[in-house]
Structure 1
Amino acid sequence: MTDDERRAIEADCQRLINLYVNLSDAQKWEELVALYTPDARFARPSKPDEFVEGRAAILEGFTARPARAQRHVIANTVVGVVDADHATAFSVIVLYLGEAAEPGELPAMSAKSPLVGTFTDKLVRTADGWRFAERIGGLDFRP
């Protein structure tokens, strides 16, 4: 693999991670879940040892949550290229939460905000581009 090929994989994987948090904040759950492989595993930062497996179950988990205001900030992402079709990534995440607000109003921030944690990812190249095969969240501080 050339340096340019490795950098292209890193950029594609970084874009996938950024797109994920943007779709999450917009609560576009079906688009977000399409970023996973059909048999992917996901563990929320608040429950890193409890895996939800498969797109349908991951979608159900997101849509079952009550609406809320949220904004993720993702940083310090390092992508490790395993080979042309596999990569890993580690990112630090900050999550600001609030009550859902009326249209045109700003939400009040939750007393639990911000939450600081991480995501550790296994990424694979598919016919549809790079996707999450596994995404494990974790918290670094108690809320």
Structure 2
Amino acid sequence: MTGALTEDERRAIEADCARLIALYANLNDEARWEEAAALYAPDGLMTRPTAPDAPIVGQDAILAAFRARPPRTTRHVCSNVVIDVESADSARGTSAMLLFTGAPAPLVGSFHDRFVRTPQGWRFSERRGTLLFQP
């Protein structure tokens, strides 16, 4: 795409990026680490909501971080997704997150994302998680 985006093109990018957020949550809950890590651009950056000041950079490092997690049952619930399209190849977004782990209270936070279009489709270039309420 070149030039100004049409309304349909903008909406398609918003839908693709919102789907990426939901897919990531589902893959994470299913411990499908390779597929979750593949949703990042090769040089993508991730910060977990529980460690917002410890960036993990690159698909290989992200995959290793996922694999290093102790096994657990989780359910991520993402809502209030807002995607802002910047161009035909970049967008940013925010979403609210609840993480249920069987602990007495869920973790409540948000994600601030940057998206990039790659030959494989839309991917996270940055996924920064933060907690609103500290456990």
Same fold (TM over 0.5): yes
- Corresponding residue number in structure 2 for 1:116: 108
Gap regions ≥5 residues in structure 1 = 98-108
**Which runs of at least 4 in structure 1 moved beyond 3 Å after TM superposition?**
none
Aligned-CA RMSD value: 0.6
Could you tell me the TM-score, scaled by structure 2's length? 0.95
- Deviation (angstroms), 1:47: 1.1
- CA–CA separation in structure 2 for the residues paired with 1:126 and 1:15: 15
Could you tell me the TM-score, scaled by structure 1's length? 0.90
- CA–CA separation in structure 1 for the residues paired with 2:51 and 2:19: 25
Aligned residues: 131
Gap regions ≥5 residues in structure 2 = none
- Corresponding residue number in structure 2 for 1:103: none
- CA–CA separation in structure 1 for the residues paired with 2:13 and 2:44: 20
- Corresponding residue number in structure 1 for 2:121: 129
- Deviation (angstroms), 1:140: 0.2
- Corresponding residue number in structure 2 for 1:104: none
Identity within the alignment, %: 53
- Deviation (angstroms), 1:142: 1.3
In structure 2, the residue corresponding to 1:48 is in which secondary structure?
Answer: strand
Greater gyration radius: 1
Cα deviation, 1:81-101, whole Å, max 9, x if unaligned, reads: 00000000100000000xxxx
- CA–CA separation in structure 1 for the residues paired with 2:67 and 2:23: 18
- CA–CA separation in structure 1 for the residues paired with 2:70 and 2:54: 20
- Corresponding residue number in structure 2 for 1:95: 99
* Amino acid aligned to 2:103: S
Q: Does 1:58 align with 2:83?
A: no
* Amino acid aligned to 1:31: E
- Deviation (angstroms), 1:35: 0.3
Pairing of 1:62-77 with structure 2 (within 5 A): 62-77=66-81
- Corresponding residue number in structure 2 for 1:25: 29
- Deviation (angstroms), 1:52: 0.6
